[in-house]
Structure 1
Amino acid sequence: MLSLSALYRFPLKSAVGESLQLAQLDTLGLSGDRRWMIVDAANGRFLTQRLLGQLTQLKAQWLDAQHLRLSVAGRTDLLVALPSAAAKLRAVTVWGDSLQVPDAGDAAALWLSDWLDRPCRLVQVPAERARQVDPDYAKVGDRVGFADGFPLLLIGQASLDDLSARVGRPLEMLRFRPNLVISGSAAYAEDSWKRIRIGALEFRLVKGCSRCIMTTLDPLTGLRSADREPLATLKTYRERDGEVYFGQNLLHSGPGELAVGMAVEVLE
């Protein structure tokens, strides 16, 4: 029997994720997931662990619907309020997308700039300013916040177990930053799924997730694997057309609720 065995949310893009037992879905995916992002102060370009491995150590947690708490070892925590409707808009870019989103203010910018030792700003995306999902895979009106390209990411637990066996050591699921983890399937069974149902919600699996150097960062320490694992092993059997794939990107049917332990049904 297939079941939803884990739920993860990442309030701040590329910062530490949090494990949930219950999660709401809104128009952009898991409520509160990747709604904040750090950008270069000069050009608005998004900053991630690909460039700044120390982001693996930054915790960003929702205290309630209006406040985010930033914390990192050795520094005083900072409470950041959700920007108001009157907040200054900042031009930012996420891959090929450009958008205008509210800036979270000077206090957050100073806190992050001092810790990262580079000028940066913290921004937040309200639903009405979110990006259109790639129309090659989605319909007009499907939106995504600051995630790389799609609202949700799914990985089968058996797929991670198989990869760990091939690498020769246990790998952390958070290294791959999924939102949904499914147990009870064969390894990589999710590659062939087109539609699934969890509770009252339906999901379309629309595109494999291509992987990068971020997977070689230990999510606990921020240290990069000297042997370039697990990316090196993935390249031996999960590469096609110059990309390495692990996990599946999802689109959801609408708002609703998910809970760990829910049954998963493959519809197509």
Structure 2
Amino acid sequence: MAVVRELRVFPLKSMGGISLTSAEVCATGLVHDREFMLIRPDRRHISQREAPKLALLRPDYDGVKLTVHAPHAALPLIHAPVDGPVTEVTVHGRPCRGIDQGDAPAAWFSDALGRPCRLVRFTGERRTLRNDGSLRFADGYPLSILSRESLDDLNTRVGSPLPMDRFRPNIVLEGLGAYGEDTVSTLRIGTVEIDLVRPCARCVIINIDQDSARKAPDPLRALAAYRTQAFDGSPEIMFGRLGGPRAPGVITVGDAVRASGSTGDDVSGPSPVAL
């Protein structure tokens, strides 16, 4: 039987995640996931691709107060979200909207990263890549799902074991077998239903150690050797799945998971799939 093994929420896009024992799932994914993000002066989002030190920033958000710790900051940022002018921003070139959070957090993050930036909070409406759901500042879909056994298999192919946080999933499953998520179209966890709609394409961010911000090519190189697939006309390195909620509710670590394939048949630990 498959179960939920880990849950993570990322309140501030491309920064550290928060491990949870229980999480509320809404139309845009886990509550507060990717609710905030940093933007450049040209209003494009900032990610670990260009600012690896984002990995070292540790946010916490309870819906009332955003707290962010940085390794070399004398004091953490403590910020109560504010309303204000709406700013047109982009995520990977796709337009969306945010509310600028003011000069104080902008100065704190600019100092922590050594580059000019501003903090925005999501507002408005944003659609998934297939226009089949809603999301906040996530790249294309509100939920990222990965199997524990998939990472275990990858770790047999790299020089030293990689932790799960390197891949930044929202939901970690156990019991499907290595790459079992590849053949799943629907997850049912209590009252929550999640549609898995496409493989998760991986980029250089998985080469960044989330505890040191140092880069090494091993993870992406290892995956490229056996997880490359032509998708939408171009080769992509795939690991995990992306999806969106069909029915909301609460998920708790240890919950049983019913996983169904495209035919509606239950999937119970299929053998690894080479893409």
TM-score range, shorter-chain basis? over 0.9
Whole-angstrom distance in 1 between the partners of 2:125 and 2:20 = 24
Whole-angstrom distance in 1 between the partners of 2:52 and 2:177 = 32
Closer, same or farther in 2 for the Cα pair 1:168/1:119, shift >3 Å?
Answer: closer
Instruction: Tell me how far 1:2 sits from its aligned partner.
Output: 0.5
TM-score w.r.t. structure 1 length? 0.93
Q: Which residue pairs with 1:117 in the alignment?
A: 114
Q: Which residue pairs with 1:132 in the alignment?
A: 127
1:251 corresponds to which of 238, 244, 251: 244
Tell me if structure 2 keeps the 8 A contact 1:69–1:80: yes
Aligned partner of residue 90 in structure 1, secondary structure: strand
Whole-angstrom distance in 2 between the partners of 1:229 and 1:148 = 23
Q: Which residue pairs with 2:172 in the alignment?
A: 181
TM-score w.r.t. structure 2 length? 0.90
Where do 1:1-268 residues align within 5 Å? 1-40=1-40, 42-62=41-61, 64-75=62-73, 76-84=75-83, 87-126=84-123, 129-135=124-130, 138-139=131-132, 142-225=133-216, 228-241=217-230, 242-268=235-261
Query: Which aligned runs of 4 or more in structure 1 are off by greater than 2 angstroms?
Result: none
Instruction: Tell me how far 1:130 sits from its aligned partner.
Output: 3.3
Whole-angstrom distance in 2 between the partners of 1:212 and 1:149 = 14
Tell me if structure 2 keeps the 8 A contact 1:216–1:229: yes
Q: Which deviates the most, 45-54 or 75-84?
A: 75-84
Whole-angstrom distance in 2 between the partners of 1:78 and 1:9 = 19
Aligned partner of residue 240 in structure 2, secondary structure: strand
Whole-angstrom distance in 1 between the partners of 2:82 and 2:69 = 19
Tell me if structure 1 keeps the 8 A contact 2:25–2:192: no
Post-superposition CA distance 1:2-44 (Å, at most 9, x none): 000000111100111110001011221000111000000x210
Instruction: Tell me how far 1:155 sits from its aligned partner.
Output: 0.2
Whole-angstrom distance in 2 between the partners of 1:8 and 1:17 = 6
Gapped runs of 5+ residues in structure 1?
A: none
Gapped runs of 5+ residues in structure 2?
A: 262-275
Instruction: Tell me how far 1:115 sits from its aligned partner.
Output: 1.8
Whole-angstrom distance in 1 between the partners of 2:2 and 2:248 = 22
RMSD: 1.1
Letter of the 1:262 counterpart: D
Tell me if structure 1 keeps the 8 A contact 2:27–2:244: no
Tell me if structure 1 keeps the 8 A contact 2:28–2:244: no
Tell me if structure 1 keeps the 8 A contact 2:191–2:248: no
